[in-house]
Every structure is written in C-alpha cells, then in structure tokens.
Chain A
Amino acid sequence: MLKKISKLPFTGTPEQEAQLQAIIASVDGDKSLLMHVMQKAQGIYGYLPFEVQAIIAEGMNIPLEHIYGVSTFYAQFALAPKGKYNISVCLGTACYVKGAQDILDKVTEELGIISGECTADGQFSIEACRCIGACGLAPVMMINDDVYGTLTPAQIPAILEKYRNA
C-alpha cells in the first residue's frame, strides 16, 4: 500500500510529547505493544510524522526503521495529517456492488481532491476505506464518526454542506 508522506513542518507541542512519554512509560518496555503505542501516538498528534516515530524509537529502544516499517505496513497509520472532517467511503464488496464508486467519484468531484488528499483549507480529507461492517446499509460512508448509509450521489452535496457550515 502506497503511503502519502507529509512534507509539512512538524508542529508538536511539549504537552503532546509529555502525553506520549507517559504512554511509552506505561508499557514498561514490552516491545510487543509497539502498535498500541503508535495507535495512541496517532490519537495525540493526528498522524505519525518521523519526529513522533523517533520519540517512540528512543523511548521503547526499537530501531526507527522497524517503526517506519510498521507504520507503512498498516493502513490505519497516517504519515500525513488528515482534514478536520475525514471522509471514508467504504469500497467493500457489498458497497461496491451497490454503487460505492459513484459515491466516491461524487465526493471527489465536489471537493476537488482525490482519495488520500486533504483540501487546502484543512477542512476535508478523503479516503477509500475497507469494509466497515455496515453492509446492510450499503453504500456507506463515514465522516469522522458519523455513518451515512443507503447513499445516492445526489445526496452528497447536501451532506458536505452540513460540515462546511459547522
């Protein structure tokens, strides 16, 4: 899986680093909990830039290259920041059969960015995601934690408008 790597400057705060250090301390050197720490780190920073990976590498005594390997292997780890509203369009089989590609195309057209990108104002990002297990509602998309089911492309502009004005 190809990953988009951010070229934006790192803007982490000392408070964020203190939170991360507390999590690293809590696993007590158990290297099998690396992914757990990375998940928490992503929760703190929103994504996993090299600077954050370096803090984890230092704290857990794991080579940075190993952490980089893990972060690029799993789809969940983001190396670029996401928008304030992250839109995940499900491209699982049930959704695909019910026209999910048309939904993704419409979102792409409306926002002018493609899957994996973030709008210039930092408001929206799009990703094509794997099955979210809501196949009975296909086609489905998520905006942050809100789930929208049985969608048609015609509904998309109104849904996006809600978030633009939020």
Chain B
Amino acid sequence: MAVKPLVETDFYRMQTRLALRNCGVIDPESIDEYIARDGYQALARALLDLQPADVIQIMKDSGLRGRGGGGFPAGLKWSFTAANAADQKYVVCNADEGDPGAFMDRSVLEGDPHAIVEAMAICGYATGATEGYVYVRAEYPIAVKRLEIAIAAAKELGLLGKNILGSGFDFELFIRLGAGAFVCGEETALMTSIEGNRGEPRPRPPYPAVKGLFAKPTTENNVETFANVPQIILHGAEPFAAMGTEKSKGSKVFALGGNITNTGLVEIPMGTTLREVIEVIGGGIPGGHKFKAVQTGGPSGGCIPAEHLDIAIDYDNLSAIGCMIGSGGMIVMDDSKCMVDIARFFLDFTVDESCGKCSPCRIGTKRMLEILDKIIAGEGTLADVDKLEELAYHIKENSLCGLGQTAPNPVLATLRFFRDEYIAHVTEHRCPAGVCKSMLTYKIDPDKCIGCTLCARACPVNAISGKVKEVHVIDPLKCIKCGACETACKKVHAVYKG
C-alpha cells in the first residue's frame, strides 16, 4: 500500500502553517537554518527600506489581531506606543501561556525562537523601543534555553545589540521567568511581575502604550502574534490579509485535545468551521462516544454544543455565542462529561488563580464555586441557579482585569447551552452524564450477575453481599461510590451506574 505524503493526510490537508512554519522543520538552535528560511530578511527590510511609520502601516493593513486572547489589532497597538514620546520605550513578549490546554506559544519558542527575536526587534524599530523583555513561564525550561541560545547567536551576528545592520538602530533583548501565576498572562499584571512584584493587574487608563513597563510606553504582544510578524513585513500585508474572514485575518493555531482521535497543534485559516477541525483534522470522537461540546478559550471561554459546529471560526463569531477564541485551546468533550462538573473545574481554577486585588473576582468567584459545589452535592435549588447567573453578570461587569471579567464565562456558556443539565441536578438530583458522585448509585443487574464474587472482593468497604453463583447486591448505605466494583465486573457488565 502506498503511503500518502504527510500534507495529504486529513490532519495536515486543511492546515496552513504560518506561525508554525519553521516548527519541526529547522533546528531551533541554529541561526543559520533560520536565516536559510528567509530569517532576519524582514528585519533587514524594515531597517534598511522602511520608515517606522511604514512598518506600522503594513501591520495595520495586514489586519493581524492579538493572538493571546484579546484580539486587539496589533498594528493599532504599535501605533499608540509610537505616538508617545519618551526617553525609553519597551517591547514585551507575553510568553506566560497559562491557559490550561494550550501549548502553541511553547511550540513556537521551542521550535522557532528566532522568529520571536526578529519580530520583537521589528516592533522595537516601529515603536521607537530599544529594549525588549520576553516573559516566559518557568514551566517551559526548554523554551527558555532555546531562546537564550537564539538571543546569543543573534547578538554575535549583529542582529541584536548596537547599530543593527549598520542602520543606527539599537535593540537589546532580555528574558524574565514567571513563577506560576495565571494572572500574569494579563498584560498589566505581567509588567508588574517583570518589575519584581506580586503580579497584580493595574487599572487602565493609563494604558501600557502611555505608561507600561517601568512606567514607560510599552508594546506588549503574545508569542503567536509576534510569530506572524516577520512574514507580514517580508511579503507585505496582502497575502496575510487575503486569508481569513472579513474581520479576522490570517491563520490561528489551536491546541486540539481532549476526547478526540488526533490531538496536537493545528494551524488553520480563520473561517474554517469547528466541524471541519473536529471531524476532519481531529478525526472525530474515539471509543464509540458522541460529541457533546468543544471548549475554547480556556478558563475565560465557554463550551460550544453540537448545534453550533458549523460556525466559521473567527473572533466575532465565537464572541457572538458567548465564547471566545482565547489563546487557542480547543478541548473536545464526549457524552461522558458533565457540564456542571466542567464549569466547576474552570471556576475552581479561577478561584485559585484570582490575585485577590479586586473583590468582585476574589469574593464573587468563590461564592459561585460554593453554589456549584452545592449543586454538585445534590443540594442545589432552582433559586441557586438563578443566583449563580446573577452573580456571574455582576462579576463580569465589575472586575478590574480580564481574568475576573471572563471568569464567569464557563458557567454562563454552560448555563446557556446545557441548562437542562443544571436543572436535572437541582430538581431531579440526577447527573445525566453520571459524573457527579453524590448523585450516583451503583447497582447490580440481577439478570446479568453470574455470582462470580469479583465485585464483592474488589469493594473496599464490604458493601456488596451475595454467595458464589448467586446474584449479588450493593448496600447503598455502605457504598462509597468508588467504582471499583464496576471496574472489576468487566466481563459481564452487571454493575451499572443508575
């Protein structure tokens, strides 16, 4: 049987690799290999042929929007910093990839670190900054190492440092390590952290373009945003702007994971439908299960149900249904997942990661978590569901930064699309997916049980009684719902959750 070329397989066929163009192709520790793939040509073009204003115009025309989650037009952001005169300006690269389930920034830093170095230097030239900081999370040691190698190699060739390529432009790059705080992915919190403080966000205005890092005008972009910059500057805005939808240009990397056959990073043109990503690229749901929801945007996003699978992926279409692209996590869930439990999972995350500076986020999310715990314990009421929703809107409106403003999204999105599951939890004390333990009872089907005693022997609390070759019974008062009996009864499947 002939083997298909990689690019013809379903996984790669629909992808367009722009931000990931060098990942897995070049040796990330070799500056020569990067240069052989047109590396630093964009920087040379910017420094030698273009004025800073031209660079910004190309960025604006390309329509590139922030890939970290906000979706703010990058060219516009650069122009704000360029417009502010100051003795010192900074470029900051946000590599504090905190969204659990997203790893495209890690992949770019590990696979193509020079693209970030080059892009930040271009940004520095365009905005008038001479120093840049890359803030990398400490969980990514390989990314840090490769970035260090890349910076040293670029310095040696005079592509960083004083008088780059004889243009008179100076640019230095520094690395700072995070220490495990999700809120530091928020741009003002990240700057506070670089300054050596608790990473708490700052109120805006003043915006970072006016008063950012060390109180100087600062441009901050995410790794994936920067990864697109060299190609845009080198080839002009048109090829990039020709891809995608009306308001979301280019391609976006998604980290496909969860209950899906093919997992990994996929880079698709904006406007591809969720169905194409999940069914063609992802290869569908394994194990005979049915699709239930796809979670995008991490703890700030929401769960999208089957009826919306045909929407074209772009910033505005996902916002319209109360979800978001976010940094690009895309976790597929099958019918064995409980949406109330998933909402609780994300809220537990935000409660833990709330920095504590503003009370709507610090106290509000905690109260929401308590209500969800009550519902999951089978003690919730319909009034609790209403309270949960009301609280969610208050937190969204009154929190200081993006973390709090989006923290209720997982709850709101599941309430919107899977309200019946919440209702089943509070009115029937039933978890339709069979996840919430308090509402489970394990039973033995007397017609299937062959009296093999395996379940009784597996039970850690001796809750199962019955003689050999006779039907066994579970005592619900003793049962701790550990599920050991169900696992033990794998031959005849007599034990079931009811």
Q: B333 in the interface, Cβ–Cβ < 8 Å?
A: yes
* A interface size (C-beta, 8 A): 34
B196 engages A92 (CB within 8 Å):
no
Report the interface size for chain B: residues with CB under 8 A from the other chain: 44
Q: Which residues of B contact A91 (CB under 8 A)?
A: 100
What are the interface flags for A129-154 relative to B under an 8 Å C-beta threshold, 1 for contact and 0 otherwise? Answer: 11111111010000000000000000
Chain A positions within 8 Å of B355 at CB level: 73
| A130 cross-chain contacts in B, Cβ below 8 A | 98, 100, 139, 180, 182
Q: Are A97 and B333 in contact (CB under 8 A)?
A: yes
Q: Which of A33, A93, A129 has a CB less than 8 Å from the CB of B331?
A: A93
Whether a CB of chain B sits under 8 angstroms from the CB of A32 is yes
Q: Does A70 contact B (CB under 8 A)?
A: yes
Residues in chain A near residue B180, CB distance under 8 A:
74-76, 130
Instruction: Report if A136-B196 is in contact (Cβ < 8 Å); known contacts: A1-B353, A73-B355.
Output: no
Q: Which residues of B contact A73 (CB under 8 A)?
A: 181, 198-199, 355
Residue from A1, A66, A134 with most neighbouring chain B CB atoms (10 Å)? A1
Given A96-B345, A97-B259, A132-B139, decide whether A32 and B194 contact each other with a Cβ distance below 8 A. Answer: yes
Minimal beta-carbon separation of A95 from chain B (angstroms): 8
Q: Determine the chain A residues whose CB is within 8 A of the CB of B295 once the complex forms.
A: 93
A166 to chain B: closest CB distance in Å?
22
> Which residues of A, 54-98, contact B by the 8 Å Cβ criterion?
66, 69-70, 73-77, 91-98
Check if A131 sits within 8 Å of B138, measured CB to CB: no
Tell me whether B181 and A33 are in contact (CB under 8 A): no
Tell yes or no: A4 within 8 A of B by CB.
no
- Whether A39 pairs with B138 at a CB distance below 8 angstroms is yes
Question: Within the complex, which residue of A33, A36, A136 is in contact with B257, where a contact is CB–CB below 8 Å?
Answer: A136
Task: Quote the shortest CB–CB distance from B29 to chain A (angstroms).
Answer: 19
Per-residue interface assignment for chain B, residues 182 to 196, with 1 indicating a CB less than 8 Å from any chain A CB and 0 otherwise: 100000000001111
Q: Mark B244-286, 1 if CB is under 8 A from A, else 0.
A: 0000000000010111000110000000000000000000000
CB proximity of B38 to chain A, nearest CB, Å: 28
Q: How far is the CB of B351 from chain A (nearest CB, A)?
A: 10
Closest to A128 in B: B352
Tell me whether A70 and B353 are in contact (CB under 8 A). Answer: no
Q: How far is the CB of B334 from chain A (nearest CB, A)?
A: 9
Q: How far is the CB of B133 from chain A (nearest CB, A)?
A: 10
Q: Give 12 A-B contacts (CB < 8 Å), ordered by A residue.
A: A1-B353, A36-B176, A69-B198, A76-B179, A94-B258, A98-B258, A130-B139, A130-B180, A131-B100, A131-B102, A133-B97, A133-B103
Instruction: Give B contacts to A, CB under 8 Å.
Output: 97-103, 106, 138-140, 176-182, 193-199, 214, 255, 257-259, 263-264, 295, 298, 329, 331, 333, 337, 342, 345-346, 352-353, 355
In addition to A1-B352, A135-B263, 13 A-B residue pairs with Cβ atoms within 8 Å of each other are A32-B214, A70-B197, A70-B198, A73-B355, A75-B179, A76-B179, A76-B180, A93-B298, A93-B345, A94-B101, A94-B263, A130-B139, A136-B257
